[in-house]
Structure 1
Amino acid sequence: MDVPQTLTRARVAQMIDHTLLKPEATRADVVSLIDEAHELGVLAVCVSPSMLPINGDGLVMATVVGFPSGKHHSLIKGAEARLAVENGADEIDMVIDVGAAIAGAYDEVLQDIVVVREAAGPDVILKVIIESAALSDDAIVAVCKAAQQAGADFVKTSTGFHPAGGASVHAVQLMAATVGDSLGVKASGGIRTTETARDLIAAGATRLGLSSSATVLAGFTD
């Protein structure tokens, strides 16, 4: 795939949400994550909402809402987003009701996103996790359009927890083609090598959700 020559280690680092969402993660683990994020020069860290507030010392602070199933009531997702912002979150990654998307109930998906968008407020970046591996191409397109209409800032491939899988080049290409320049595309889930990251960026990913950030970055040079 054609990857820009300007794709340096520093540039890729500034595309990364350095992520720790394991259920067994401790506050000490999150402190270590932040220390590593500073060492790697990444843009952001993404942690569970129960870990907030925490001092990121200049890092963008992201958290998740309705995670990982998306089966929470929209009002619960909204309340979770509002509390996260009050506790210092700069970005919210929300999970849609994947079942609604599979059933073609795109108005329900739209309303779900709208509730979180309004709860988070206009100054917070909202990323919409669609679980692309569980959706048909038509559903991916429809859900991306719903995210656009609802005022989201990004569409995101995956939680990394769904048995159907994580990010794929095909899904990222389709998502990027659907939203154009109006939204970012975050690829996440199963990205563990430099080659995979390169392929996803070439496909249109503008942000990467990684837990293996050091390994991925090791293959890029400045």
Structure 2
Amino acid sequence: MELNRYIDHTLLKADANEADIKTLCEEAIQYEFKSVCINPTWVEVCTNILKDSEVLVCTVIGFPLGANHTDIKVFEAKKAVADGADEIDMVINIGWVKNQWFDKVRREIDLILDAIPDNIIVKVIIETALLTEEEIRKVSQIVKESKADFVKTSTGFSTRGASLNDIKIIKEIIGNSKLIKASGGIRNFDETIQMIRLGSDRIGASRGIDIMEESKNR
């Protein structure tokens, strides 16, 4: 297992500055992480730094609440791709799920996907901390039926991050039809391995270096 290639090296703090972002990219190159995950305003900076590496540029859309108007999310996605993003992690509208407006959730995902090239990887953040188990199942089914590539558990900015039970539920619904990104609160090697064994294909972590250094001693 190439553990480093599971990790999206993440920095989404509001106070991250250009020096922080450059350090993130340099670390990602050093450890050969799968991607850096950053806020949209830093996409161009990361694209320029990482252009000669295999590290992808991932950014977030409708982040962290998911409550932007759909047309704003569509614009964000198109702009991110124009700036060089390889991957888009979009947050669904949680309020719509609570209202059981599942057709709106489905349509928003479709509109974002239709607005960007097919080769852009799209991960749908469902914010499992705020959903019941039944809502996790329902939204995972919606993502399964869409053209999106991943179900992603969390933003890391809610009441908790990913749990092992979240991964079990999502995997039960999507099987091998889609991929899973576990994110939020994954801080060490043991947690990372547990998530992967349950079916996670990508790990979003701000402590990717800690995880890799710990893995050397296992």
2:161 equivalent in structure 1 = 166
1:31 equivalent in structure 2 = 22
Distance 1:136 1:121 in 2: 33
Distance 2:141 2:134 in 1: 11
Within 5 A, what are the aligned runs for 1:26-65? 26-54=17-45, 55=48, 56-57=50-51, 58=53, 59-65=55-61
Q: Which consecutive residues of structure 2, in runs of 5 or more, have no partner in the other structure? A: none
Distance 1:103 1:16 in 2: 34
Secondary structure of the 1:52 match is helix
Within 5 A, what are the aligned runs for 1:32-181? 32-54=23-45, 55=48, 56-57=50-51, 58=53, 59-163=55-159, 165-181=160-176
Greater per-residue helix proportion: 2
The structure whose RCO (Cα within 8 Å, separation 6+) is larger is 1
Q: Which structure 1 residue ranges, 4+ long, deviate > 6 Å from structure 2?
A: none
TM-score (norm 1): 0.92
Distance 1:120 1:173 in 2: 30
Secondary structure of the 1:218 match is helix
Count of aligned pairs: 212
1:18 equivalent in structure 2 = 9
TM-score (norm 2): 0.94
Structure 1 residue 52: Cα displacement: 2.0
1:192 equivalent in structure 2 = 187
Specify the code of the residue in structure 1 equivalent to 2:215.
Answer: F
Structure 1 residue 85: Cα displacement: 0.2
Secondary structure of the 2:8 match is strand
Q: Does 1:210 align with 2:205?
A: yes
Distance 2:4 2:124 in 1: 21
Distance 2:165 2:99 in 1: 22
Cα RMSD, aligned residues only: 1.2
